[in-house]
Amino acid sequence: MIVLGCNGFSKSAAFFGAYFGSVGNDRNLLMGHDASAALFKDGVLIAAAEEERFNRIKKSPDFPEQAVRYCLQEGGVSVEDVDLVAIPWDCNEAWISGIFSHIFRGEDKLEKKVELYEKLKTMYYQVASHETVIQDFNCRMGTDFGPERFVFVPHHLAHMMAGFYVSDLRPSAFLVTDGRGEAFSASLGEIDRDGFHIFDNVSIPNSLGVLYRKFTRYLGFTPNSDEYKVMALAPFVKQDPGYDVEAFIELLPEGRYQLKVPDDVDGHTDYYRFFEAYFGPRSESTDHKMAWFVQHLTELATLHQVRYLEQRSAHDHLFIEGGVALNCVNNGKLLKQSRFKDIAVSFAASDTGVAIGAAFYQVYQTKAFTPHTITPYLGPEYSDEVMRQALEARSDALRFERLEGAQLRERLVGYLTEKKILGWFQGRMESGPRALGNRSILASPQFDDMKDIINAKVKYREAFRPFAGVMVEEAAPTYFELGKKQTSPYMTFVFDVKPDMAARLPSALHFDDTSRLQTVTAAQNAKLYALLTAFGEKTGTPCLINTSFNVAGEPVVCSPRDAVNTFLNSGIDVLVLGDYVAHKIEPPSA
């Protein structure tokens, strides 16, 4: 059976822009962001990729036409060969009717109710209904599929299935928590190969994801995109500033909670006033305190949910999925504080992974599980010839040579110890929002100022932003307090550095001596592991700074041409494209 997962809507950006003003900081308002596709063939995940990597529009909500075509090509099939198209949203008539009922039961004036009703009715018929989604697919892919070729998977069920698949089908408790999925913001339960049981759902408007998004927007960042910046600001507050958490949230029995922030779906006026009245006028100090507060509140509420799962489920493994699961600081704290022997967060925990989960749901229902290798390397790979052509096309601006094996590693280690920054492009592109070792920017963590150099010279982003370390797996326990973790392959957990090791990798640490560590084995990524090993033999520390191969506002590079363009338009010193090593040609002096 061939199943295609497909997340994205052709008209969502236009609709939310026209009806909700979702441009600039609001462009990823509700649904469709992280458009992506995934292909399962006879129970095996063949390919997965985000549309943004192809159309070069970050967080693209568009129908993932190029991602779909890539997945089909990788699987060696045509679109007509697809047995089922799995959509990770189930916006059916019952769902939209429930929203309408909620609107008219509310306390707003009738005029506002009618206005919102008209907007959401238009959204349903123009963007999200089953009929519209089917028509959109057929129009973009040139097909004439009927409803029998489509299955609409509830959003949180798609998240759950992605987490279960990446957890190697291990019996688990689960927490799915995000902004919203149809009518819910969180789902709690357990799953094994035989079936799953949802203990409870948290209903909209109660949503930690939406609350974090409101703080993100208020602080001047892009919601559904820049929440990690708020997370990075939070540690600048050294102690509890004394805010009353109960003014924002009430924790209820059975893992539930009730938010007290205004439910301002249409606009921002209400909660802006609420924030200003509570936190006072904005300043750098206030911004830090607000970041600390929403981070603290998120940690408090998710721990409340995990405590409920500890009591309700007998499993000793927990996985967390959804946009809130990208909060790696929170994940590290939950790992320490929970009774679960391990907690997993996948490489595509946000909406980048729901296409995988929706497609896997069809496999799960058949119970015809196929042994599989868990890997994030699911995107395009390019031949040596294509890489050479991309370099030759810019021979006016760069020079290059081809090296292999130990000779290549020796040269690169030399560059790293000379304080040079590498653009690293190898093998298949990763799936998911984190740099995982094939489309990365690498640098030595041993220089005190390397973080500042990369932020200013390469990434063109805020100076407070930290960088993560990537390290050979066997060395990680020597440098970091891993606790229950034996491995951390997806950069989804933050760990404390051991005090006597902090001086060895200062630029791979946040100012609070933590790092969103990624560990690597030779089986996972042979080339990166070999480079880390060679760097360790030279310096004594088998660790590098690892950040995504992109600059601020752009998606991670996909093709060799993307890599060359980013290299030439940033402060990256050396480009490593497969076995090719490229340098910029210095322009002649005036």
Q: What is the DSSP string of 200-258?
A: EEEETT--HHHHHHHHHHHTTS-TTT-HHHHHHHGGG--S-----GGGTEEE-STT-EE
Q: Give the pLDDT confidence of 451-479 residue by residue, as tens digits.
A: 999 999 898 888 788 899 999 999 999 99
Q: Give the pLDDT confidence of 96-120 residue by residue, as tens digits.
A: 998 898 888 877 789 888 988 998 8
Note the pLDDT of residue 264. 59
**Residues 8 and 40 placed together within one structural domain of the fold:** yes
Of 131, 158, 185, the one marking the end of a domain is 158
Q: How far apart, in whole angstroms, are the C-alpha atoms of residue 166 and residue 170?
A: 9
Note the pLDDT of residue 464. 81
Q: Residue 495 falls within a domain, yes or no?
A: yes
Q: How far apart, in whole angstroms, are the C-alpha atoms of residue 472 and residue 484?
A: 18
Q: Residue 391 falls within a domain, yes or no?
A: yes
- Residue 573 in contact with residue 566, Cβ under 8 Å? no
C-beta atoms surrounding 246 within 10 Å:
9
Q: How far apart, in whole angstroms, are the C-alpha atoms of residue 586 and residue 13?
A: 41
More confident residue, 532 or 108: 532
Residue 590 in this model has a pLDDT that exceeds 50:
no
- Residue 258 in contact with residue 247, Cβ under 8 Å? no
**Residues 247 and 198 placed together within one structural domain of the fold:** yes
Q: How confident is the model at residue 589 (pLDDT cuts 50, 70, 90)?
A: low
Residue 21 in this model has a pLDDT that exceeds 70:
no
C-beta atoms surrounding 226 within 10 Å:
19
C-beta atoms surrounding 484 within 10 Å:
11
Q: Residue 541 falls within a domain, yes or no?
A: yes
Q: How far apart, in whole angstroms, are the C-alpha atoms of residue 79 and residue 136?
A: 15
Residue 481 in this model has a pLDDT that exceeds 50:
yes
Nearest CA to 328 among 349, 310, 309?
349
Residue 418 in this model has a pLDDT that exceeds 50:
yes
Residue 364 in this model has a pLDDT that exceeds 50:
yes
**Residues 399 and 339 placed together within one structural domain of the fold:** no
Average pLDDT, the chain: 92
**Residues 439 and 564 placed together within one structural domain of the fold:** yes
Nearest CA to 59 among 28, 92, 104, 29?
28
For the beta sheet containing 514-515, the strands, ordered from the edge strand earlier in sequence to the opposite edge, are 480-481, 495-497, 514-515
Tell me which residue range forms the domain holding 559. 384-584
Read off φ and ψ for residue 583, nearest 5 degrees. -125, 150
Prediction pTM value: 0.95
Of 158, 190, 210, the one marking the end of a domain is 158
Q: How far apart, in whole angstroms, are the C-alpha atoms of residue 350 and residue 354?
A: 8
**Residues 184 and 238 placed together within one structural domain of the fold:** yes
Per the structure block, which two tokens stand in for 337?
């504080």
**Residues 251 and 147 placed together within one structural domain of the fold:** no
- For residues 550-575, average pLDDT: 96
**Residues 44 and 185 placed together within one structural domain of the fold:** no
Q: Residue 48 falls within a domain, yes or no?
A: yes
Q: Using CA of residue 496, residue 499, residue 501, residue 502, what is the dihedral sign?
A: positive
More confident residue, 272 or 333: 333
**Residues 413 and 548 placed together within one structural domain of the fold:** yes
Tally the residues of the chain.
Answer: 590
Q: Residue 550 falls within a domain, yes or no?
A: yes
Q: How far apart, in whole angstroms, are the C-alpha atoms of residue 486 and residue 571?
A: 35
Long-range contacts of 119-124 (CB under 8 A, 24+ apart): 119/19, 119/20, 119/266, 120/96, 121/96, 122/15, 122/19, 123/15, 123/16, 123/19, 124/91, 124/96
CA dihedral angle for residue 102, residue 104, residue 109, residue 112, rounded to 10 degrees: 80
Residue 20 in this model has a pLDDT that exceeds 80:
no
Q: How far apart, in whole angstroms, are the C-alpha atoms of residue 492 and residue 343?
A: 10
Q: Give the pLDDT confidence of 290-318 residue by residue, as tens digits.
A: 999 999 999 999 999 999 999 999 999 99
Instruction: Please give the biggest Cα pair distance in the chain.
Output: 73
Of 127, 158, 189, the one marking the end of a domain is 158
Q: How confident is the model at residue 269 (pLDDT cuts 50, 70, 90)?
A: low
Q: Which residues, including other chains, have CB under 8 Å from residue 92's CB and lie 6 or more apart?
A: 129, 130, 152
Q: Residue 411 falls within a domain, yes or no?
A: yes
- Residue 152 in contact with residue 137, Cβ under 8 Å? no
Q: Residue 363 falls within a domain, yes or no?
A: no
Note the pLDDT of residue 587. 74
Q: Residue 350 falls within a domain, yes or no?
A: no
Quote the distance between the C-alpha of residue 342 and its chain's center: 21
**Residues 109 and 244 placed together within one structural domain of the fold:** no
- For residues 341-362, average pLDDT: 96
Nearest CA to 490 among 433, 559, 545?
433
Q: Which residues, including other chains, have CB under 8 Å from residue 276's CB and lie 6 or more apart?
A: 282
Note the pLDDT of residue 371. 86
**Residues 118 and 191 placed together within one structural domain of the fold:** no
Q: How far apart, in whole angstroms, are the C-alpha atoms of residue 375 and residue 490?
A: 10
Number of structural domains (the chain) is 3
Residue 419 in this model has a pLDDT that exceeds 50:
yes
- For residues 550-560, average pLDDT: 94
Nearest CA to 360 among 35, 45, 16?
45
Q: Which residues, including other chains, have CB under 8 Å from residue 336's CB and lie 6 or more apart?
A: 483, 484
Residue 518, CA atoms < 13 Å, CB-side half-sphere: 28
**Residues 114 and 189 placed together within one structural domain of the fold:** no
Q: How far apart, in whole angstroms, are the C-alpha atoms of residue 379 and residue 64?
A: 14
CATH number of the domain within which 331 lies: 3.30.420.40
Q: How far apart, in whole angstroms, are the C-alpha atoms of residue 406 and residue 414?
A: 12
Asked which of 6-20, 193-207, 247-261 is least confident by mean pLDDT, the reply is: 6-20
Alpha-carbon Rg for the chain, nearest whole angstrom, is 24
Q: What is the DSSP string of 423-456?
A: EEE-SSPBPSSS--SSEEEEE-TTSTTHHHHIII
Nearest CA to 319 among 189, 196, 174?
174
- For residues 7-13, average pLDDT: 89
**Residues 434 and 550 placed together within one structural domain of the fold:** yes
On the 0-12 / 13-18 / 19+ scale of CB atoms within 10 A, 100 is: middle
- For residues 418-431, average pLDDT: 97
